[in-house]
Amino acid sequence: MTVSMYDASVPVVVRGLTNLSAILDKGAAFAEARKIEPSVLTGARLAPDMLPLNRQVQIASDSAKGAAARLAGAEVPSFADTETTFPELQARISKTIDFLQALKPGAFEGAEARSVTLPGPNGEINFSGQEFLFSFALPNFFFHITTAYDILRHNGVEIGKMDYLGWR
């Protein structure tokens, strides 16, 4: 049995975003229950030189929609990175999932061989679609999902591995 590029990308990132949404719900509930200003959490970082929670969510969204669009040969939608509140971050996730679910599996036919070019710090980086998905897009997506999880967990939100995996 072969796994299509669609199956290896869209359902995977939709699940990750869905799990992230549930984790953010727990973060918002934590802030409310403890009377913590929610911006303390959405602006929290793991280290001074790392991006805050809201940017981690935005980049996870960008990674998901960018990867799927490039593999499907579609235009990558541009979202303004203005979200700072839990409701705004949830709306961003929802909009991203809507975009992903609108992509048709047939658009991914031949995506493993499709050329993907990204700007890099030292010039363009060229990938085959398969190399892009497995060596760049998915690792980058999960890095930002994990970092968002870690920021909330570090700040006391009662989440665990099963929340991250979506097995609540």
The predicted-structure confidence for 20-57, as pLDDT tens digits, reads as follows: 999 999 999 999 999 999 999 999 999 999 999 999 99
Query: Which residues, at least 6 apart from 95, have a Cβ–Cβ distance to it below 8 Å?
Result: 61, 79
E strands of 43-164, at which residues?
Answer: 115-120, 123-128
Find residue 128's DSSP bridge partners: 115
Give the three-state DSSP class for 90: helix
User: In a 10 Å sphere around its CB, with 0-12 CB exposed, 13-18 middle and 19+ buried, how is residue 33 labelled?
Assistant: exposed
Q: What is the CATH number of domain 5-106+113-165?
A: 1.20.120.450
pLDDT (mean) for 89-105: 98
Mean pLDDT score of the chain: 96
Query: 84 and 39 in contact (C-beta within 8 Å)?
Result: yes
Q: Where are the domains of the chain?
A: 5-106+113-165
In this prediction, residue 3 has a pLDDT band, given cuts at 50, 70 and 90, of confident
Do 159 and 53 contact (CB within 8 A), yes or no? no
